[in-house]
Amino acid sequence: MAPDLRAAFPYGLDPCERLRKAERFDMEFTYYPGCTLKGSALELDESFRSVAEKLDVTLRELPDWTCCGASSAHMVDEFLETALPAKDLMTAERIGKDVVAPCAGCHVRMKAASMRILKEKELQARFPFKGDIKILSGMDMFDLKEVRAKLKERLAKPLEGLKVVPYYGCYAVRPPDVVQPEDAENPTQMDRVLQAMGAEVLTWPYKTDCCGGSLALTKKEIVFKLTGKILDMAKTVGADAIITFCPMCQANLDTRQPDISKETGKVYHVPVLFLPELMGVALQNPHARTWFSKHIISPERMLSGKGLL
């Protein structure tokens, strides 16, 4: 009898099966927007869907999805932190398509839950998730070589002359044993997508530094300090904009600039865009200006000055 390899491979796929799945690129994904993309980060949801459609990627929203528990459930209840994503994981697995979660917090919670279920027998009995689907982040999906190739093919306005710094933040790479990033200190998924659009990706040391996350409401002084350092470094290296995929990171870096200016006397006007928003500019999406209207620091003047809007 062949040995059971499921315990050795946390997603339930042996290496040969992983290779076969990788070779069969499927341009259709189950889409998990999560709470934030339906509220404070509507521009990420709208731009993500719009760019995906332009690149012939089909997104089918997960039916009857529920909150993943980020960022509080896993801090207060070990069972709840798994139970909340488990329902969505089982639904996605029944559909049979890999699931993409653009929000970095949702992505890490879903991956953490899937690993716990496959590891712990009691949870397996309660939540019969087999691990037959992959869980992708938004930048994972856009970094697929087939998607990047389609992006180059459909490019309407190359981002030549635009200098950017990609900001991944904590959740995109941590905890490393859960997220399993290509490089926890120097991730490059967004770099490749930005370069495919013709933008100049600057080297900087704060790719994965913490912005303060959810401390924005309870420890504002810490958030001011951390985001201030990130903004200072972006200006030091000469970036026109900071590009991110995390709604919490974008909110902290965008909305805190006026407050930090009042406290420090430094003048900040650094646009902080979601990657799909900038992709929309390169694809000349007519709705891009409506996405930017939700920002505190609008990127319109900067982009117009470079002939990109």
Name which of 163, 119, 123, 140 is nearest 10 in CA terms. 119
Question: Are 171 and 300 in the same domain?
Answer: yes
26 belongs to a structural domain: yes
Residue after which a domain boundary falls, among 90, 113, 140: 140
249 belongs to a structural domain: yes
CATH number at residue 62: 1.20.1050.140
Range of the domain at 291: 155-305
Question: Are 209 and 277 in the same domain?
Answer: yes
Cα separations in angstroms, 240 against 122, 164, 199: 51, 6, 11
2 belongs to a structural domain: no
Question: Are 162 and 290 in the same domain?
Answer: yes
Question: Are 54 and 94 in the same domain?
Answer: yes
147 belongs to a structural domain: no
Question: Are 159 and 120 in the same domain?
Answer: no
> What does pLDDT average to in each consecutive run of 10 residues of the chain (309 residues)?
39 40 68 96 98 98 95 79 96 98 96 97 97 97 97 98 97 95 96 98 97 84 95 98 97 95 93 98 96 97 97
The whole-number pLDDT of residue 213 equals 84
CATH number at residue 160: 3.40.50.11810
Number of domains composing the chain: 2
Question: Are 88 and 166 in the same domain?
Answer: no
Spell out a b/e string for 207-229, using b for 16 or more CB atoms within 10 Å of the CB, else e. Answer: bbbbbbbeebeeeeeebbebbbe
Residue after which a domain boundary falls, among 106, 140, 174: 140
149 belongs to a structural domain: no
Tell me the pTM. 0.90
The whole-number pLDDT of residue 26 equals 63
9 belongs to a structural domain: no
Question: Are 41 and 88 in the same domain?
Answer: yes
Sign, Cα dihedral of 65, 70, 76, 82: positive
Question: Are 163 and 293 in the same domain?
Answer: yes
Question: Are 172 and 256 in the same domain?
Answer: yes
Euclidean distance between CA atoms 256 and 253, whole angstroms: 6
Burial class (CB in 10 A: 0-12, 13-18, 19+), 159: buried
109 belongs to a structural domain: yes
Euclidean distance between CA atoms 196 and 66, whole angstroms: 35
Question: Are 164 and 238 in the same domain?
Answer: yes
Question: Are 125 and 183 in the same domain?
Answer: no
Residue after which a domain boundary falls, among 140, 165, 191: 140
Question: Are 213 and 266 in the same domain?
Answer: yes
Three-class DSSP category at 31: strand
8 belongs to a structural domain: no
Cα angle for residues 25, 30, 34 (degrees, 5° grid): 135
The whole-number pLDDT of residue 22 equals 45
Name which of 203, 197, 202 is nearest 159 in CA terms. 197
